[in-house]
Amino acid sequence: MVKKARPRNPKRIRDLKLKIATEEYLQLAISRIAILLSEEMLGL
């Protein structure tokens, strides 16, 4: 049987779920990830 990990900070997880539901937050998060990956791949 697989045990589910208990959230360490339920309030923070709840807040993040609300943020993820907004288009603006998702666009910003995806942009940040793309920048980080690009910098890592290019060695900047």
The answer to whether 25 touches 19, Cβ cutoff 8 Å, is yes
Which residues of the chain carry a pLDDT beneath 70?
A: 1, 5, 7
Within 8 A by CB and 6+ apart from 38, the residues are 44
What gap in Å lies between CA 33 and CA 38, rounded to an integer? Answer: 9
pLDDT at 7: 65
pLDDT at 10: 86
pLDDT at 24: 93
What gap in Å lies between CA 41 and CA 44, rounded to an integer? Answer: 8
